[in-house]
Amino acid sequence: MGHGKLRKFAENETFKCLLQPSASEVMDKSDGGFRVLDHPIKGNWNSNMFAKAQPIVLELGCGRGEYTIDLSRRVPSRNYIGVDIKGARLWQGAKYAVEHDLPNVAFLRTRIELIEAFFAPREVSEIWLTFSDPQLGSANKRLSSPVFLEKYRKFLAPGGRIHLKTDSRFLYEYTKAVAQANGLNILAATTDLYNPNVPISTSHPQLDSDPNTPRHPELDSGSNRTNAAPGLDKETMAALTDVQTFYERMFMKQGYKINYLCFTISHEGPFVAPSDFDSDYWRSIEGPRKFIQNI
């Protein structure tokens, strides 16, 4: 391990806005099986980590935390938590939050598989999935799979929204298929977020794949899309194009279109996997990604 990472890990220990629980705090393997344990922060984020009680928004797989940071500065009336397992990445967001004294930002270092250990029922108002790994070979590892939706339902407030922003058409189509298979309410959907000629569809999600569909008149300028997606606030709609992660900029530079989907998970009974999702086809159109250090 390089000295740079060691320095970041050591500094992470000093950041009050960064929670780094040990595995033993949230996992019980004493009987040879596996059981998720509740962490003491569960149900206490607003009182223990933030300056004041406000609706909580999660970014799962936040990487360097730039999206979490930017959203928190745009909407100070909400508290934001970035979640990732990579300590060296979280260091950047946590350090920025500390140095700029941001009162509504926190970070959690953990595996998202354990996320229900940290949040109580109705404690979270919305979730962002920003450029998650599409997990082409393992459906249950996708952060929008029925397995994870069941986890989110345990702590997401009624009507709470999930936002998916991704360069992967595969993940977008899979997530939309999951939403449709479970009768979830899709609030917004587009396969080309930055193209003003491609509408953000709401009541008819299939329209977003048809380039001949007439535009919504309210999409005439950049991020001015508030009226295009009923139920989404002005700040959220503006952030869709105004806020970009490191990976988003990198993938856009390589020519990949950015997909966006927003839906709620109010649903009775178990979540089911989509039966009509053509994984082979959507997997076949995924192109190669390259890591670009300087963008």
Task: Please determine, for residue 227, whether its predicted confidence score (pLDDT) is greater than 60.
Answer: no
* CA-wise closest residue to 79 among 108, 109, 102, 101: 102
Query: Rounded distance, CA 209 to CA 211, Å?
Result: 6
Q: Please report the pLDDT score of residue 291 as a whole number.
A: 80
Of 18-27, 67-76, 210-219, the least confident: 210-219
pTM: 0.89
Active site residues: 133
Mention every residue, 6+ apart, whose C-beta is less than 8 A from residue 248: 130, 131, 165, 167, 258
Cβ atoms of 243 and 71 closer than 8 Å: yes
Fold of 44-284: Rossmann fold (3.40.50)
User: Is residue 216 very low, low, confident or very high in pLDDT (cuts 50, 70, 90)?
Assistant: very low
- DSSP letters, 70-111, are HHHHH-TTSEEEEEES-HHHHHHHHHHHHHTT-TTEEEEES-
What's the distance, CA 95 to chain centroid? Answer: 21
Tokens 């607003």, located at residue: 46
- What is the DSSP secondary-structure string of 175-193? HHHHHHHTT--EEEEES-T
- Does 294 score more than 80 pLDDT? no
Question: Is residue 243 within 8 Å of residue 255, measured between CB atoms?
Answer: no
Instruction: Determine the average pLDDT of the residues in 186-202.
Output: 87
Q: List, for residues 228-281, the tens digit of each pLDDT value.
A: 565 677 888 888 889 888 889 999 999 999 999 999 998 889 999 999 999 999
Locus of tokens 């206490």: 44
- What is the Cα–Cα distance from 71 to 126, expressed in whole angstroms? 12
pLDDT at 295: 67
Residue ranges covered by each domain of the chain? 44-284
Predicted pLDDT of residue 3: 63
Residue 218 has pLDDT above 80, yes or no: no
pLDDT of residue 206: 39
pLDDT in tens, 27-64: 988 877 788 999 999 999 999 999 999 999 999 999 99
Instruction: Quick: pLDDT tens for 72-117.
Output: 999 999 999 999 999 999 999 999 999 999 999 999 999 999 999 9
Mean pLDDT of the chain: 88
Centroid of chain to Cα 275:
24
